[in-house]
Amino acid sequence: MMIIMHPGASREQIDAVIAEIERHKLTSHPIFGVEQTIIGAVGDGHYVLKEEFEALPGVLEVQRISKPYKLASRQFHEQDSVFQLDGFTVGGTEIPIIAGPCSVESREQILEIAQAVKEAGANALRGGVFKPRTSPYAFQGLGEEGLEYMAEAREKTGLPIVVEVMAVSQISMMEKYVDVFQLGARNMQNFNLLRAIGETRTPVLFKRGMSATIEEMLMASEYILSGGNTRVMLCERGIRTFETATRNTTDINAIPVLKKLTHLPVILDPSHSTGDSAFVSAVAKAGVAAGADGVIVEVHQDPPHAISDGKQSLTPEAFAKMVKQIKAVAEAVDRRLVAQHERA
């Protein structure tokens, strides 16, 4: 349920409401606004009467949240969530671009591509060091060695780094290196991992499962939000359909639908959703036009010889061209790309 406090309610009154929520074995999630505080009470509270909270001093109104996903819903948080990520905002008028290779292959490779994507207009660097591959015999990533290379690339370029986390056991090590956890499609419903990520305060790029509905995606994100980690970016990366012309089917519909249902920022991954570099730019532009809050793209200096996902990777030159085109689309829909910045 959502407990709306009177404007000007005292801290003592707010604390009393939180204490009552905890007495009912529920979890409180307060949102402290400039004029008003709203407190979410999350958990199995079907037996709790609204009247118990409405009678408390300072409470203006109590509303039941009708959606099965509570903290992710617009009903709980009406305004778009906007948060800082190392020098720029996510979820506002700015559209950040995240770019880099599917896999960190070597120190030289990631340093070269990091500089190239920065010069072309990227705002953050992606790169996989633990690779969830279909075949157990395929390249599985460099592990912590790859994280060290990513951290060095960050220091040289100023780009925050986005890296996929695959297991609960990896979190404590990765927290020392990464700026954003990527939660991949295969782990969208790995609930133990979701709960563990929710206990961190590292931002999360949360990818939709390849066969997941939008509601299933939002329900899964609730595991992270309920742990107190509120900096969650939802990522549409294509879903599995009967179509075989592309790797997946880009659900452009999902972008405006998610923007209606949730306050969380929505990012588009046109690389995985198409699986073909020939289509990446067109789909990226479509996503921005549809309202995406950012784009994550795979870029490699030599796609034909990439260890993984070379077919869908843009060259640095193609990426730079795409960024210019996205800029024009963003301005047409009253948005703008993030200006380059230097890491403090």
CATH of the domain at 45: 3.30.70.1140
pLDDT per residue as tens, the chain (344 positions): 899 999 989 999 999 999 999 998 888 999 888 788 999 888 876 778 888 899 999 999 999 888 889 999 999 999 999 999 887 899 999 999 999 999 999 999 999 999 999 999 999 999 999 977 778 878 888 999 999 999 999 999 999 999 999 999 999 999 999 999 999 999 999 999 999 999 999 999 999 999 999 999 999 999 999 999 999 999 999 999 999 999 999 999 999 999 999 999 999 999 999 999 999 999 999 999 999 999 999 999 999 999 999 999 999 999 999 999 999 999 999 999 997 654 43
Q: Is residue 78 part of a domain?
A: no
Q: Of 34, 63, 92, at which residue does a domain stop?
A: 63
Instruction: Tell me how many degrees the CA angle 138-139-144 measures, rounded to the nearest 5.
Output: 150
User: Same domain, yes or no, for 186 and 52?
Assistant: no
User: Same domain, yes or no, for 43 and 157?
Assistant: no
The single-letter DSSP state of residue 187 is G
Give the 3-state secondary structure of residue 164.
strand
Dihedral sign of CA atoms 282, 283, 286, 288 in order: negative
User: Same domain, yes or no, for 98 and 49?
Assistant: no
User: Same domain, yes or no, for 87 and 59?
Assistant: no
- Please check whether residue 67 is in contact with residue 264, taking contact to mean a CB–CB distance below 8 angstroms: no
Range of the domain at 226: 83-337
pLDDT of residue 136: 83
Q: Is residue 131 part of a domain?
A: yes
Q: Rounded to two decimals, what is the model's pTM?
A: 0.90
User: Same domain, yes or no, for 59 and 105?
Assistant: no
**How many domains, the chain?**
2
Q: Is residue 70 part of a domain?
A: no
Q: Is residue 72 part of a domain?
A: no
User: Same domain, yes or no, for 156 and 300?
Assistant: yes
User: Where residue 145 sits, what CATH number does that domain have?
Assistant: 3.20.20.70
User: Same domain, yes or no, for 36 and 89?
Assistant: no
Q: Is residue 236 part of a domain?
A: yes
User: Same domain, yes or no, for 330 and 207?
Assistant: yes
Give the Cα separation of 248 and 245 in Å (integer).
8
Q: Which of 248, 250, 130, 258 is nearest to 206 (CA)?
A: 258
User: Same domain, yes or no, for 237 and 97?
Assistant: yes
Hey, how many other C-beta atoms are within 10 angstroms of the C-beta on 7? 11
pLDDT of residue 310: 95
Q: Is residue 77 part of a domain?
A: no
Q: Of 63, 92, 107, at which residue does a domain stop?
A: 63
pLDDT of residue 131: 79
Q: Is residue 69 part of a domain?
A: no
Q: Is residue 75 part of a domain?
A: no
pLDDT of residue 88: 87
User: Same domain, yes or no, for 49 and 88?
Assistant: no
Q: Which of 236, 245, 323, 317 is nearest to 271 (CA)?
A: 236
User: Same domain, yes or no, for 254 and 296?
Assistant: yes
User: Same domain, yes or no, for 10 and 124?
Assistant: no
Please provide the DSSP assignment of 104-125 as one string. ---HHHHHHHHHHHHHHT-SEE
Q: Of 63, 92, 111, at which residue does a domain stop?
A: 63
